[in-house]
Chain A
Amino acid sequence: MREGLAAGAKVGAGMPALVLGASYVGFGGFVRDNALGLDIAMFTTFTAWALPGQLVMVELYLAGAPLLAIALGVALANMRLAPMCTVMLPVVRVEGRPAWRLYLAANWVAITCWALTMLHAPNQPREQRLSWFMGCALTLWAASLAGCAIGYFAAGAFPHPVSLALVFLNPLYFGLLMLQDLRNRQRLLSMLCGAGLCAVLHPFVPEWSLLIAGVAGGSLAYLLSMRGKA
Chain B
Amino acid sequence: MSPLGIYIAAVVTALATYFWRAFGVAVGGRLDPQGRAFEWFSCIAYAVLAALVVRLVVFPAGGLLELTLPVRLSAFALAIGVFFLARRNVFLGCGAGTSAVALAAWLT
Where the two chains meet, the residues of A that have a C-beta atom closer than 8 Å to any C-beta of B are 15, 19, 36-37, 39-40, 43-44, 47-50, 52-54, 57-58, 60-61, 67, 70-71, 74-75, 78-90, 99, 102-103, 106-107, 109, 111, 160-180, 186-187, 189-195, 197-199, 202-203, 206, 209-211, 213-215, 217-219, 221-222, 225-226
Q: How far is the CA of A222 from the CA of B42 in the complex (A)?
A: 9
How many residues belonging to B are interface residues under a CB distance threshold of 8 Å? 76
What total of A-B pairs shows CB separation below 8 Å? 293
For A218, the chain B residues whose CB sits under 8 A away are 40, 43-48
User: Residue on A with the closest CB to B62?
Assistant: A167
User: Residue on B with the closest CB to A193?
Assistant: B47
Consensus secondary structure, chain A interface: helix
For A187, the chain B residues whose CB sits under 8 A away are 42-43, 46
Tell me which of B14, B24, B40, B51 contacts A44 (CB under 8 A). Answer: B14
For A172, the chain B residues whose CB sits under 8 A away are 76, 79, 93-94, 97-98
A57 engages B10 (CB within 8 Å)? yes
A197 engages B51 (CB within 8 Å)? yes
For B53, the chain A residues whose CB sits under 8 A away are 171, 174-175, 178, 195
